[in-house]
Amino acid sequence: MRLKLFLFFIIALMSSMNGALGTMIFPSSERTIRMAMALCDGTMILLGLSSVFTHRNFYGVRLWLLFVIGAVLTIILTSDRFGIVEQLNGVRALLFYFASLVVTYDLFTSDLGDLFVDLMTKFIILFAIVQIPFAGYQFLKYGASDAVGGTFGLVGGSGMLSQILYIICFFLLVRYASLEDGSHFKIGKTLLFIPLLIPTMLNETKISFVLLPVFLLLIVATGKKIYRSVAILLMGVVIAFMLNYFYSETVQDTRNLLDRDYLDRYMLHVNPQSNEDLPRLQRLAIMFQMMGKDVGAITLGMGYGVMGGGSVMNVSRLGRRLYYLVTGSRILLFSVWIQGGLLAVLLVGATMFRFAWRRPHYLYVRRRFHRFLLFSLLLVWFYNEAMTERLFAVLIWFFVIWISRYTDEDGRSNVRDEQDGGADEAFPSVPQQ
């Protein structure tokens, strides 16, 4: 188990830095770095497979096996379009998605569970702190832009960085800045963690305009004691001002974000023949037009080779033909559906939101974190495909399992799974004392 713990953190460390390594530190070695990430994917999948029998009653294992069956059917259905290597390359991100949940659960419920929680928390804190100098350097060199992705790199990581930092900050507030009875947050300690959100002010991600008000609402919603949160609200106003300032200076006046024409271009429609990035929802519409009435394509997708290749291996012929559709700002709903169909969407969604179906009795601040986590994951389906990114998935599964089990004031697991329970015991809990 200690070897599994060691390999888990090696994979997490590599996943946290591969973007910066490939775009900033060793840009000429991007191919080598991607091959190293493929090795990390394979290692995580093997670690997950080693836990399958032990935790065969865990819902993550069951849904993973169902996904594998569906993926095999998809590969058979689309075998005339892609080779087996192309399909396996395309499906490995989702295999990692499921495997990392199983491995995280295995470590969490092992005899090293408390050590795992402590190490993971330290890793999360270090990751969040490191983003500040990385984002600061990127901001000074490239300005407030998508290039401010912290250790996720200069391409495509800014939105993901903003999303995960809000979740991390909330998690740390629950663990270290809540009152003993779990009813409210300590103002002084809360203000110590808020600066972790600095990188979200330095990029121009629109998602921060959605996450910030929800984040503030949930940490200051203290009923009759709203006066206790004046300092937090003031800090929120400062963050909102900086978000508005940098976005207005580098992109456009934020008042245009509510303009109907802008929203139409951003979310719904542009000319596919233009050089503009296709809007997120327009990709879905084009995908459904391509599938037409083909029940097989709708149910099982167009194949896991449609979006793979380009770095380590060649792009498939269909992938080249659909290059305009599968590159750029993709959303999770689109990327999962076009590859694995409705079946994959249902299985990925069921895995992601299982923690929301059965909720143990939480202290008040943990209920707020539960709601923020649920809200953030719902956004992923229509904003980007962050859950198929390795580190994002690893951190989210840790938060999901942590919040879904009974924890004491130190955040340590007080539950051990002797026989791993049944479907309703996927996340065993005990009543609050």
Q: How far apart are CA 339 and CA 87, in angstroms?
A: 10
Strand partners, 428: none
pTM of the model: 0.86
- pLDDT tens figures, 204-253: 788 888 898 899 888 886 555 556 666 667 777 777 777 767 666 665 55
- pLDDT tens figures, 407-431: 433 444 444 433 333 333 444 443 3
Ranges of H-type helices in 109-229: 113-142, 158-176, 187-193, 198-202, 208-220
What pLDDT is stored for residue 260 in this prediction?
A: 57
Which one is predicted more confidently, 415 or 271? 271
Round the CA-based radius of gyration of the chain to a whole number and report it: 22
Please list, residue by residue across 237-259, b when 16 or more beta carbons sit within 10 angstroms of its beta carbon and e when fewer do: eebbebbeebbeeeeeeeeeeee
Q: How far apart are CA 196 and CA 132, in angstroms?
A: 7
Check pLDDT > 70 for residue 99: yes
> In percent, how much of the chain has pLDDT > 70?
78
Residues 6+ apart with CB under 8 A from 213: 240
Ranges of H-type helices in 221-331: 230-250, 260-263, 280-291, 295-300, 317-321, 323-326
- pLDDT tens figures, 347-369: 999 999 998 876 555 667 888 89
Q: Give the other-Cβ count within 10 Å of 234's Cβ.
A: 10
- pLDDT tens figures, 7-28: 999 999 999 998 888 888 888 8
* 63 sits in which H/E element: helix 59-77
DSSP code at position 277: P
Q: What is the mean pLDDT of residues 166-171?
A: 95
In this structure, what token pair is assigned to residue 69?
Answer: 């069956």
Which one is predicted more confidently, 262 or 19? 19
In this structure, what token pair is assigned to residue 80?
Answer: 């005339």
Q: What is the mean pLDDT of residues 83-104?
A: 92
What pLDDT is stored for residue 188 in this prediction?
A: 80
Place of tokens 């946290």: 16
Among the ranges given (121-125, 130-134, 307-311, 382-386), the one the predictor scored with the smallest mean pLDDT: 307-311
